[in-house]
């Protein structure tokens, strides 16, 4: 078991969103405010960690042929728990994430990690894999939220910081007037474009050291 490598894999070299390109739907759909990003990231991290541990614990008794169905049942159970908890304790978050909380069931990151990692590795390693992959997913969500919110409406930390509007929600700290923002980025189009830019930056960054080595040879 190599914690350092697992950490680096989750954050960068095997980042679930930027490198493995899994779980695109939620990444693009809900990253319109800081609050959504944190909520979704934490929810996915918790579910991923729990399901990784349970699937790893059961990996020897799950028959190979019906493993996908078993994974989905385990994941759906945890998603239901988290969904009900969010509805009970954080109704604002439940409203703004809407159908995307139950849809964590079919988020490819969780099923992907179950199939690729926890079905083959021990419980402790799977536990850390869940946490690191979850944090890797969360930071990408937050990066997208910050970029889209700032360029789109000139605010920072929507839903968490700043003044409170009539609906009782924080609107975020206004850095420049909303009229000057690129409104398009807060619409679905912005999700595609910002994610494209982030993945391109990642590919550029990952390709660079290799190129240097090749040149030095």
Partner 1 sequence: MEIFKLLSITLGAILANNFIFSQFLGCCPFLGVSKKVDTAVGMGVAVTFVMGLASAVCFVVNKYILIPLDLAYMQTVAFILVIASLVQFIEMFLQKAMPALYTALGVYLPLITTNCAVLGVVLLNVQNGYNFIESVVYGITGGLGFLLAIVLFASIRERLVFADYPKCWDGFPIALITAGLMALAFMGFSGLKVW
Binding-site ranges for partner 1 (CB under 8 A): 21-26, 28-29, 68-69, 72-73, 76-77, 79-80, 83-84, 98-99, 102-103, 105-108, 111, 184, 187-193, 195-197, 199-201, 203-204, 207
Please identify, using beta-carbon distances, which residue of 171 and 195 lies nearer to partner 1: 195
Choice between 1 and 197, CB closer to partner 1: 197
CB nearer to partner 1: pick between 55 and 171: 55
Taking residue 53's Cβ as centre, other Cβ atoms within 10 Å add up to 17
With contact defined as beta carbons under 8 Å apart, do 126 and 133 qualify? no
Cβ 169 to partner 1 shortest distance, Å: 21
Beta-bridged to residue 45, according to DSSP, are none
Q: How far is the CB of 47 from partner 1 (least distance, A)?
A: 12
Give me the phi and psi of 75, to 5 degrees please. Answer: -65, -45
Our CB check for partner 1 shows the closer of 161 and 193 to be: 193
CA distance to 23, 37, 137, per residue, from 27 (Å): 7, 9, 9
Q: Minimum distance between the CB of residue 150 and partner 1, rounded to whole angstroms? A: 18
**What does the alpha-carbon distance between residue 11 and residue 29 come to, in Å, rounded to a whole number?**
21
Distance CA 18, CA 192 (A): 13
Q: Shortest distance, CB of residue 187 to partner 1, whole angstroms? A: 7
């Amino acid at each position: 078991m190599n914690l350092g490598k697992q950490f680096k894999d989750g954050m960068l070299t095997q980042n679930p969103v930027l490198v493995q390109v899994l779980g695109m739907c939620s990444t693009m759909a809900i990253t319109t405010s800081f609050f959504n990003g944190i909520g979704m990231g934490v929810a996915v991290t918790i579910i991923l960690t729990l399901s990784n541990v349970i699937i790893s614990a059961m990996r020897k008794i799950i028959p190979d042929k019906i493993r996908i169905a078993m994974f989905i049942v385990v994941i759906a159970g945890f998603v239901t728990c988290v969904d009900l908890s969010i509805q009970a304790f954080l109704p604002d978050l439940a409203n703004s994430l809407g159908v995307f909380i139950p849809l964590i069931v079919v988020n490819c990151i969780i099923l992907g990690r179950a199939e690729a990692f926890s079905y083959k590795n021990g419980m402790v390693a799977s536990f850390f894999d869940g946490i690191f992959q979850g944090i890797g997913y969360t930071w990408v969500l937050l990066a997208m939220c910050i970029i889209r919110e700032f360029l789109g409406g000139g605010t920072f930390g929507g839903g968490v910081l700043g003044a409170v509007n009539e609906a009782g929600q924080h609107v975020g700290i206004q850095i420049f007037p909303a009229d000057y923002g690129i409104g398009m980025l807060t619409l679905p189009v912005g999700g595609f474009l910002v994610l494209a830019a982030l993945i391109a930056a990642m590919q550029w960054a990952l390709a660079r050291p290799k190129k240097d080595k090749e040149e030095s040879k």
